[in-house]
């Protein structure tokens, strides 16, 4: 069976963007792939984190994975830092990557242009991401568009390594949804909806109070032309709502435009709110049953045993190829 690998960083609160861009894909692909879905906690510490909150957020993501429909019977869910082979392989890959290619990563460039004191981890984390993926010989990696450059880097590292040391890694394919790969902030539709940004009014969090969710959607920033038409350049706000509606109902953009051609923005926003609330109600009721049960630990134990077995084999294969240790 082919393999899927992906992860989410436990920083801030998971958003509707994380659901539409990533988790929804995980659940759909899960039917046809052997799946390794992890909590990318080592990625979280590239920025300072409060240990107590980080621990809570790690558990919360596992609860959300399960509440969204992933199941420990057919998905290996684990915490990245518990599987120590990711960091070992990451170091080996760091020694086979170049400053030039790392300096071109736009997420690093953006942060470096805004902040003076950034950690070395911010610079090298795309290599840890490559390790997360290559260690499992992943066939596909579902993510939103913001991770595209990192998956391309991963492919380049794999190809280069294979050329140098012989066939070692599978070269993975990215899976980025055609619509919904970048859900935007409702208050500023030119900015991505992000779990750690400072404007909660523009972000829908998966565990948000449902009344607040309706309020946030009804007050989403739109243009003044009042026609429901998809046009990213001229109408980014309404296009973002159309994308959300399309992702949750599986209706095409064309169908949505036809269906709402005689409606105003208020009517449409109210329908979008109904769909989002229906989804979150379901996720939240499952989450509340799961979060304080044994299912969390049972899931993580099972995921760790399997992921560690595979990662260890790959790590030892690398040590052997590079002439390291006694392997």
Minimum separation from the CB atom of position 325 to ligand TYM (A)? 26
Grouping H, G, I as helix, E, B as strand and the rest as coil, residue 5 is strand
Looking up tokens 């599986």 gives 250
Six-digit token string for 321: 């190829």
Closest by CA to 281, choosing from 217, 211, 200, 210, is 210
Looking up tokens 């140098």 gives 164
- Would you say 2 or 261 has its CB closer to ligand TYM? 2
> 175 has which bridge partners?
142
Query: What is the DSSP secondary-structure string of 268-280?
Result: HHHHHHHHHHHHH
Give, rounded to a whole angstrom, the gap between the first and last alpha carbons of the chain.
29
Grouping H, G, I as helix, E, B as strand and the rest as coil, residue 19 is helix
- Would you say 155 or 192 has its CB closer to ligand TYM? 192
- Would you say 7 or 189 has its CB closer to ligand TYM? 7
Minimum separation from the CB atom of position 168 to ligand TYM (A)? 18
- Would you say 191 or 225 has its CB closer to ligand TYM? 191
Minimum separation from the CB atom of position 184 to ligand TYM (A)? 7
> 35 has which bridge partners?
4, 75
Looking up tokens 């992000």 gives 194
- Would you say 82 or 259 has its CB closer to ligand TYM? 82
- How far apart, in whole angstroms, are the C-alpha atoms of residue 73 and residue 96? 36
Minimum separation from the CB atom of position 267 to ligand TYM (A)? 25
* Contact criterion met (CB below 8 Å) for 16 and 183: yes
Minimum separation from the CB atom of position 20 to ligand TYM (A)? 6
Q: Which residues bind ligand TYM (CB under 6 A)?
A: 5-9, 17-18, 20-22, 40, 43, 129, 132-133, 141, 143-144, 146-147, 181-183, 192-193
Closest-by-Cβ residue to ligand TYM is 21
- Would you say 147 or 227 has its CB closer to ligand TYM? 147
Grouping H, G, I as helix, E, B as strand and the rest as coil, residue 23 is helix
- Would you say 146 or 275 has its CB closer to ligand TYM? 146
Minimum separation from the CB atom of position 283 to ligand TYM (A)? 15
CA 179, 149, 60 angle in degrees (round to 5)? Answer: 70
Minimum separation from the CB atom of position 50 to ligand TYM (A)? 17
């Amino acid at each position: 069976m082919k393999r899927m690998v992906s992860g989410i960083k436990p920083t801030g609160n998971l958003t509707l963007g994380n659901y539409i861009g990533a988790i929804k894909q995980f659940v759909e692909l899960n039917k046809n792939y052997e799946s390794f879905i992890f909590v990318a906690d080592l990625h979280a510490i590239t920025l300072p984190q409060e240990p107590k909150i980080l621990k809570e957020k790690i558990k919360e993501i596992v609860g959300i994975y399960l509440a969204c429909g992933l199941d420990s019977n057919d998905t290996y869910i684990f915490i990245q830092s518990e599987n120590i082979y990711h960091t070992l392989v990451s170091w080996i890959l760091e020694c086979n990557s170049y400053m030039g290619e790392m300096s071109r990563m736009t997420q690093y460039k953006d942060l470096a242009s805004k902040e003076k004191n950034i950690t070395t981890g911010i610079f090298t984390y795309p290599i840890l991401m490559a390790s997360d993926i290559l260690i499992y010989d992943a066939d596909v990696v579902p993510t939103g568009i913001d991770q595209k450059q990192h998956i391309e880097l991963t492919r380049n590292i794999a190809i280069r390594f294979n050329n140098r040391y012989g066939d070692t890694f599978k070269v993975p394919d990215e899976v980025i949804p055609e619509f919904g790969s970048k859900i935007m902030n409702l208050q500023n539709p030119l900015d991505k909806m992000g779990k750690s940004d400072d404007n909660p009014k523009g972000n829908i969090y998966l565990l948000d109070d449902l009344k607040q969710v309706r309020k946030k959607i009804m007050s989403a920033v739109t243009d003044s032309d009042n026609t429901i038409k998809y046009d990213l350049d001229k109408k980014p706000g309404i296009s973002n709502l159309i994308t959300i509606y399309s992702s949750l109902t599986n209706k095409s953009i064309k169908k949505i435009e036809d269906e709402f051609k005689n409606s105003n923005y208020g009517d449409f926003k109210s329908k979008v709110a109904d769909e989002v609330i229906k989804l979150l109600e379901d996720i939240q009721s499952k989450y509340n049953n799961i979060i304080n049960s044994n299912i969390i630990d049972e899931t993580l134990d099972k995921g760790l045993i399997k992921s560690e077995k595979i990662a260890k084999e790959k790590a030892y294969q690398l040590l052997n190829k590079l002439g390291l240790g006694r392997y």
